[in-house]
Amino acid sequence: MLLRNAFLILMFAALFACSGSPPPIDAAQAAQVAASARDAKASKDLALYEQMRSANKNDLAAQLGKELLAKYPESTAAAKVKESIEQVNNGAQAEKEAQRIARLWTYNTAPEAGGSQYSAYVYAKDEVSAGGKTQRLRLVLRQHPSWGQSVYLLLESGGFRCGADCSASVRFDDQPAQRMAMTIPPTGEPAIFIDDNKGFIAKLAKARWLHIDAQLKGASAKHVVSFEVAGFDAARMPNKPH
């Protein structure tokens, strides 16, 4: 009987040896393998995060960093991301704000005799009542091959009032207001031109907000009209004024 049992034990041992199956992995080993795999994936995500950060693509870097922190919160890669994620998030917000204010401006180029006309305009923040309807003023910058550079306020309809001493109070950001001479065109367009267009644009290029006291036809009081101008791109108006 003892010989028979010993024979069976030897037979089963031989069968397991010939099968080539690896020995079973215990729980600690399995956890270590899984942790190594997670660290490898986190390191790969960290490399992409750092690549976007180095390229100043903060919006993409912020998204990648957020995902890495959510998926691998206890990893070495997550600790590395935490060192810079606040700066990246701030940069992403600044990029979004820059894009927003840039989109407030509209630029146009049109062929004209003697060259091209370039123009840019931005709408006022709030509407006004003029010409029998509610509308928004536009601040327009124009470069014309024959007429030169102009800056003016433009309504859809109605018009502006201006006395013999035609001027308006103009303020950039929190700087003191100044009176600037203006001219209503004799051709009847619902516009009023700022005479010192060169000086006006020089100040506008450094400002975030512009506030102008506008006197509209049919209105009993002046309107303080505000424009968010910080997104103006001077490179889109290539002709320097003479």
pLDDT per residue as tens digits for the range 91-108? 999 999 999 999 999 999
| One domain, residues 191 and 123 | yes
Q: What are phi and psi of 128, to 5 degrees?
A: -130, 160
Whether 40 contacts 77, CB under 8 Å? no
Tens digits of residue pLDDT in 162-209: 888 899 999 999 999 999 999 999 888 999 999 999 999 999 999 999
Residue that is last in its domain, among 46, 73, 100:
100
The full DSSP string for 94-134 is HHHHHHHHHTTEEEEEEEETTEEEEEEEEE-SS-EEETTEE
Q: What is the pLDDT of residue 29?
A: 66
> What is residue 189's three-state secondary structure?
coil
Query: Mean pLDDT over all residues of the chain?
Result: 87
| One domain, residues 51 and 116 | no
Whether residue 76 has pLDDT greater than 70: yes
Kind and range of the H or E run holding 77: helix 76-82
Q: What is the pLDDT of residue 175?
A: 95
Domain contains 66: yes
DSSP 160: B
| One domain, residues 50 and 115 | no
Residue that is last in its domain, among 75, 100, 125:
100
Domain contains 21: no
Q: Tell me the angle at which helices 58-71 and 85-102 cross, rounded to the nearest 10 degrees.
A: 140
DSSP 178: E
Kind and range of the H or E run holding 35: helix 27-54
Whether residue 220 has pLDDT greater than 70: no
Higher pLDDT, 221 or 44: 44
Mean pLDDT of 18-31: 57
Q: What is the pLDDT of residue 151?
A: 98
| One domain, residues 65 and 185 | no
| One domain, residues 133 and 39 | no
Q: What are phi and psi of 212, to 5 degrees?
A: -130, 135
Whether residue 23 has pLDDT greater than 60: no
Mean pLDDT of 202-221: 90
| One domain, residues 151 and 66 | no
Output the pTM of the full model.
Answer: 0.76
Q: What is the pLDDT of residue 174?
A: 95
Cβ within 8 Å of residue 82, ≥6 positions away: 69
Tens digits of residue pLDDT in 151-161: 999 999 888 98
Domain contains 211: yes
Token pair for residue 84? Answer: 């810079």
Whether residue 118 has pLDDT greater than 60: yes
Domain contains 16: no
| One domain, residues 75 and 110 | no
Kind and range of the H or E run holding 171: strand 167-172
Owning domain of residue 121: 104-236
Residue that is last in its domain, among 40, 71, 100:
100
| One domain, residues 31 and 143 | no
| Structural domain count of the chain | 2
- pLDDT bracket for residue 150 (50, 70, 90): very high
Mean pLDDT of 66-83: 95
Domain contains 18: no
| One domain, residues 140 and 74 | no
